[in-house]
């Protein structure tokens, strides 16, 4: 039985123009189109969505895998980011990463 998608690690990286992106490594026992990790989100501790990456296909033979968000603005008062994965059956769940917003 395939469980929830887990974020194994995440990294905050600078992007052009003073923006940022998050690179996340995700693990999920993808079973094909009916059950796979289909995205991840970057949120503040207060639950404000800063970035989201949609994953458009299963990664059955590529586990774990690493992907990045598009560039996003990082508010000055945010000190911790929450990176959580999503799968097509369980919604959000599994292991999250609390990422220090070190600029």
Please choose, from the candidates 32, 90, 94, the residue with its C-alpha nearest in 3D space to the C-alpha of residue 59.
32
| pLDDT tens digits, one per residue of 11-47 | 999 999 999 999 999 998 877 888 888 899 999 999 9
Q: What was the pLDDT predicted at 2?
A: 63
Cβ(26)–Cβ(6) below 8 Å: yes
Going by the DSSP 8-state scheme, the letter that residue 72 receives in this structure is B
Residue extents of the structural domains in the chain? 6-100
Q: 58 pLDDT exceeds 90? A: no
Q: How many CB atoms lie within 10 A of CB 20?
A: 19
| pLDDT tens digits, one per residue of 14-23 | 999 999 999 9
Q: 1 pLDDT exceeds 60? A: no
| pLDDT tens digits, one per residue of 67-99 | 999 999 999 999 999 999 999 888 788 899 999
pTM: 0.91
Q: Residue holding tokens 């887990």?
A: 6
Topology of domain 6-100, CATH: Immunoglobulin-like (2.60.40)
């Amino acid at each position: 039985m395939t469980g929830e998608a887990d974020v194994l690690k995440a990294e905050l990286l600078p992007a052009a123009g003073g923006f940022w992106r998050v690179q996340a490594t995700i693990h999920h026992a993808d079973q094909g189109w009916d059950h796979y990790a289909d995205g991840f989100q970057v949120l503040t501790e207060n639950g404000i969505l800063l970035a989201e990456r949609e994953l458009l296909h299963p990664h059955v033979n590529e586990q774990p895998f690493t992907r990045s968000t598009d560039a996003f603005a990082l508010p000055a008062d945010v000190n911790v980011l929450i990176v959580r994965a999503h799968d097509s059956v369980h919604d959000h769940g599994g292991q999250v990463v609390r990422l220090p917003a070190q600029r």
